[in-house]
């Protein structure tokens, strides 16, 4: 509802007066401190400055024996003078981002969470750094009315939380107050309005909407339709038709997020292996997916289907094991090459360029040493790399050329151990902390090979000389839009002349530069007479999320209407001036949700690993909270803080995307797909939260009638 401040409940008007009075006191205190800091340097500091000048003059004339002492004295005085006369002060226009009031015994204390510490006992103003102040823990861990006991340096604090509010201050004026039981905002005319508390709290009743691996037959696309039933009875007509495709006919399964692609692919594998165990033994089947999280989920979904013995690999692990079998011992692998280098090495343009350069390679030369040397020559050839970038037609930036050359040259250098082979004392080859000298430096790349090189080398070997390893009887390639042409070609060779496979994917969920289209993907696998199944109904995401996801894709969205299994909860879209307010707002909401919904699965999907780690520090003390960066999902109730690269193919009851800024998600096709992946992980409710400059991809979402009004 909307109302003038005079029409608000008296207790809310009291909150506004309280917050405005506290803000006025804080600004006055900061102004007094700023005025004191602007006074001229005291005479003692001027004397120190004169003494430093005298020491410099003396050092110019000093003997060699006296010089060290004089330099030390100069250094000490210089550091003293460089100290600021007073500590940095909060900005009076935006002095803090949250207000915490506690009562310890008979004493009430107000703490203001900001970016810079400012303590003024005479005015009762306590502004503390929200990132590091111990008292800030109370804000994250407790709700209004909760009793707390926390160990702080030098004391144990016990008390009750009386107020816990996120506040937004713009140009010195209070504009928003969000507490555990209220949400107030000042409009453009200066009038205060209130929103229903549900608008700033996650909708209850979401626990159990997402699939729980381990329950017979329940997987992505079937969540919400049954728990202990036979999955075959739950398939819709399109899904059942897909799993019924004959084993010797390749199948392409295309579908929107949550439409059941993984369910169809895995159930088809189970059906084939059960119907003809001699022709399709489990030992000769495999499931290959891009990320570890989806690999773990696939293993758990296969077990109750009776095909847990099928091999499930990430694409990286599959390449490592196959390369070891084909080439023997491998060099030390680099698993964190620069993103530009990874993008170039997986791009179809590089695949096509290498086909031209290696067309005359003799089978006898398709050995690891020869292939590595020839590949390294090309990866340091600026003219060749420039042609690859040009052929990518905007898919690769020009900067990828220099980044690839620099990275490859570091790998071609002699390892530090080889450079220091004349030193015979082992201790002299290690740093003071006991680590190898090259650890944490660019030199540690010397002698390594990128894990992205393995599919390229395997492709060259398979193309020019073949691969002598046992073939696959049937393969499932899930989220296949993220598999490169190199990987697909090698897999095609391992499937033989009459390949049996299930290829599942959605080009709208592409998160790497490797996708070249389904026609080329199938061609790499050597497929003919391919059956195609298109799944258009999302069983995971409710209709509000499906609609938002479609708008995020823009021109990349598939043709036809976006359909979902039900309406579900509205999408929450929230914006704050600063990241601190956004993070505190989300942390408060998550604490409330986990308290109300202890059996729910909740995910915070950050833009990257660093952002996920930063946010996790706010919520690490919440019950059942986990930081998941390498796909190590437990699939248990609780909170998983993770990033976009780890969640493909997974689903959760609730999803929060906490950092939808212009910097994280600019108006590019890549950003559209990544954000689409993040928002389509939810089966009950989605929150999109931004700060600073809002991403242009979500700028209009707040005005859409199916979303919670923007804050």
Residue 410 sits at φ, ψ, to 5 deg, of -65, -40
| 362: Cβ contacts below 8 Å, ≥ 6 apart | 464
- Give the distance, in angstroms, between the CA of residue 288 and the centroid of all CA atoms in the same chain: 22
Cβ atoms of 177 and 16 within 8 Å: the answer is yes
- Would you state the pLDDT for residue 215? 40
Among residues 311, 295, 314, 307, which one has the least CA distance to residue 216?
Answer: 307
Residue pLDDT, tens place only, 277-303: 999 999 999 999 999 999 999 999 998
- Would you state the pLDDT for residue 194? 84
Highest-confidence segment of 120-134, 248-262, 420-434: 248-262
- Would you state the pLDDT for residue 180? 86
C-alpha distance from residue 223 to each of 9, 208, 408, 453 (Å): 42, 8, 46, 38
- Would you state the pLDDT for residue 441? 62
Cβ atoms of 135 and 106 within 8 Å: the answer is no
- Work out the pLDDT band at 672, boundaries 50, 70, 90: very high
- Would you state the pLDDT for residue 221? 46
Question: What residues does 314 pair with on adjacent strands?
Answer: 289
| 237: Cβ contacts below 8 Å, ≥ 6 apart | none
- Would you state the pLDDT for residue 414? 81
Structure tokens at 96: 């803090």
For residue 659, pLDDT over 70 is answered with yes
- Work out the pLDDT band at 131, boundaries 50, 70, 90: confident
- Classify residue 368 by burial, with Cβ atoms within 10 Å: 0-12, 13-18, 19+: middle
- Would you state the pLDDT for residue 62? 62
For residue 1, pLDDT over 50 is answered with no
Cβ atoms of 654 and 589 within 8 Å: the answer is no
Q: What percent of the chain has pLDDT over 70?
A: 83
- Would you state the pLDDT for residue 214? 46
For residue 562, pLDDT over 80 is answered with no
Alpha helices in 244-291 (DSSP H): 261-275
State mean pLDDT over 309-335.
Answer: 95
State mean pLDDT over 126-155.
Answer: 87
Residue 16 sits at φ, ψ, to 5 deg, of -60, -45
- How far, in Å, CA of 199 to CA of 191, rounded? 19
Cβ atoms of 500 and 248 within 8 Å: the answer is yes
- Give the distance, in angstroms, between the CA of residue 647 and the centroid of all CA atoms in the same chain: 8
Residue 605 sits at φ, ψ, to 5 deg, of -105, 100
More confident residue, 233 or 631: 631
Cβ atoms of 667 and 532 within 8 Å: the answer is no
- Would you state the pLDDT for residue 437? 47
- Would you state the pLDDT for residue 334? 95
- Would you state the pLDDT for residue 287? 97
Structure tokens at 340: 């530009």
Residue 285 sits at φ, ψ, to 5 deg, of -110, 160
Cβ atoms of 479 and 505 within 8 Å: the answer is yes
Residue pLDDT, tens place only, 20-34: 999 999 999 999 998
- Work out the pLDDT band at 41, boundaries 50, 70, 90: low
Q: Delineate the domains of the chain, giving CATH numbers in brackets.
A: 5-37+89-195 (no CATH), 43-82 (no CATH), 231-322+454-538 (3.40.50.300), 330-450 (no CATH), 543-708 (3.40.50.300)
Stretch (H or E) spanning 531: strand 531-535
Residue pLDDT, tens place only, 587-624: 989 999 999 999 999 999 999 999 999 999 989 988 89
More confident residue, 293 or 203: 293
Residue pLDDT, tens place only, 354-374: 999 999 999 999 999 999 999
Structure tokens at 32: 């007094």
More confident residue, 67 or 567: 567
C-alpha distance from residue 230 to each of 54, 211, 368, 395, 476 (Å): 89, 15, 48, 44, 22
Question: Please, what is the end-to-end C-alpha distance for the chain in angstroms?
Answer: 14
For residue 464, pLDDT over 80 is answered with yes
Look at residue 540 and give its three-state secondary structure. coil
Average model confidence (pLDDT) for the chain? 86
Helix-helix angle 368-379:399-412, to 10 degrees: 140
For residue 440, pLDDT over 60 is answered with no
CA angle 207, 209, 213 (to 5 degrees): 100
Residue pLDDT, tens place only, 380-433: 999 999 999 999 999 999 999 999 999 999 999 887 565 555 554 565 545 545
- Work out the pLDDT band at 559, boundaries 50, 70, 90: confident
| 422: Cβ contacts below 8 Å, ≥ 6 apart | none
For residue 325, pLDDT over 60 is answered with yes
Among residues 410, 333, 335, 334, which one has the least CA distance to residue 379?
Answer: 410
For residue 61, pLDDT over 50 is answered with yes
CA atoms within 13 A on the CB side of 106: 0
C-alpha distance from residue 50 to each of 44, 47, 69, 71, 73 (Å): 10, 5, 18, 16, 13
- How far, in Å, CA of 222 to CA of 602, rounded? 19
């Amino acid at each position: 509802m909307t109302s003038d401040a005079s029409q608000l409940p008296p207790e809310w008007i009291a909150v506004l007066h309280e917050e405005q009075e506290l803000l006025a006191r804080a600004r006055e205190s900061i102004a007094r401190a700023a005025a004191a800091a602007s006074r001229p340097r005291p005479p003692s500091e001027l004397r120190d400055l004169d003494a430093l000048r005298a020491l410099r003059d003396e050092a110019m004339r000093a003997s060699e024996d006296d010089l060290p002492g004089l330099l030390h004295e100069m250094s000490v005085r210089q550091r003293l003078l460089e100290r600021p006369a007073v500590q940095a002060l909060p900005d009076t226009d935006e002095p803090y981002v949250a207000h915490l009031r506690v009562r310890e015994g008979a004493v009430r204390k107000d703490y203001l969470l900001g970016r810079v510490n400012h303590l003024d006992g005479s005015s009762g103003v306590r502004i503390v750094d929200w990132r590091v102040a111990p008292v800030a823990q109370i804000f994250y861990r407790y709700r209004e009315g909760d009793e707390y006991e926390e160990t702080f340096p030098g004391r144990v604090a016990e008390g009750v939380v009386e107020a816990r509010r996120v506040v937004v201050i713009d140009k010195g004026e209070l504009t928003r107050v969000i507490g555990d039981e209220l949400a107030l905002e000042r409009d453009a005319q200066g009038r205060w309005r209130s929103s229903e508390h549900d608008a700033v709290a996650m909708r209850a009743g979401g626990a159990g909407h997402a699939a729980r691996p381990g329950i017979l037959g329940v997987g992505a696309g079937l969540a919400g339709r049954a728990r202990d039933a036979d999955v075959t009875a739950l398939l819709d007509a399109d899904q059942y038709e897909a799993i019924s495709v004959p084993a010797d006919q390749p199948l392409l399964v295309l579908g929107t997020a949550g439409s059941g692609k993984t369910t169809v692919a895995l159930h088809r594998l189970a059906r084939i292996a059960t119907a003809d165990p001699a022709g399709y033994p489990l030992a000769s089947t495999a499931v290959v997916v891009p990320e570890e999280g989806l690999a773990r989920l696939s293993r758990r979904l296969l077990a109750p289907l009776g095909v847990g013995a099928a091999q499930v690999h990430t694409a990286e692990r599959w390449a490592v094991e196959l390369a070891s079998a084909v080439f023997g011992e491998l060099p030390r692998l680099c698993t964190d090459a620069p993103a530009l280098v990874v993008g170039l090495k997986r791009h179809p343009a590089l695949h096509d360029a290498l086909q031209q350069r290696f067309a005359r390679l003799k089978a006898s030369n398709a050995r690891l040493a020869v292939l590595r040397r020839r590949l390294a020559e090309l990866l340091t050839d600026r003219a060749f790399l420039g042609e690859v970038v040009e052929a990518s037609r905007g898919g690769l930036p020009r900067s990828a050329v220099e980044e690839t050359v620099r990275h490859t040259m570091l790998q071609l250098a002699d390892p530090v151990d080889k450079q220091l082979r004349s030193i015979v004392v082992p201790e002299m080859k290690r740093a003071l902390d006991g680590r190898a000298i090259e650890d944490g430096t660019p030199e540690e790349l010397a002698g390594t090979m990128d894990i992205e090189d393995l599919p390229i080398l395997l492709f060259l070997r398979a193309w020019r000389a073949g691969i002598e390893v046992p073939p696959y009887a049937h393969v499932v390639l899930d989220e296949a839009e993220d598999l490169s042409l190199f990987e697909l070609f090698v897999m095609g060779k391992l499937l033989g002349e009459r390949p049996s496979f299930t290829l599942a994917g959605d080009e709208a969920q592409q998160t790497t530069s490797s996708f070249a289209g389904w026609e080329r993907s199938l061609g790499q696998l050597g497929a003919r007479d391919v059956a195609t199944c298109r799944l258009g109904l999302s069983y995971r995401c409710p209709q509000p999320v499906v609609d938002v996801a479609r708008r995020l894709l823009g021109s990349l969205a598939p043709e036809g209407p976006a359909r979902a299994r039900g309406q579900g909860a509205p999408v929450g879209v929230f914006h704050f001036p600063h990241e601190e307010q956004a993070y505190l707002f989300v942390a408060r909401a998550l604490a409330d949700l986990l308290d109300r919904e202890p059996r729910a699965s909740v995910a915070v999907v950050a833009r990257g690993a660093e952002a996920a780690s930063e946010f996790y520090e706010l919520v690490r003390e919440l019950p059942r909270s986990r930081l998941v960066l390498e796909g190590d999902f437990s699939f248990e109730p609780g909170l998983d803080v993770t990033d976009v690269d780890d969640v493909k193919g997974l689903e959760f009851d609730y999803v929060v995307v906490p950092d939808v800024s212009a910097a994280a998600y600019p108006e590019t096709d890549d950003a559209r797909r990544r954000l689409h992946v993040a928002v389509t992980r939810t089966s009950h409710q989605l929150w999109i939260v931004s700060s600073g400059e809002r991403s242009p991809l979500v700028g209009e979402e707040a005005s859409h009638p199916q979303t919670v009004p923007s804050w």
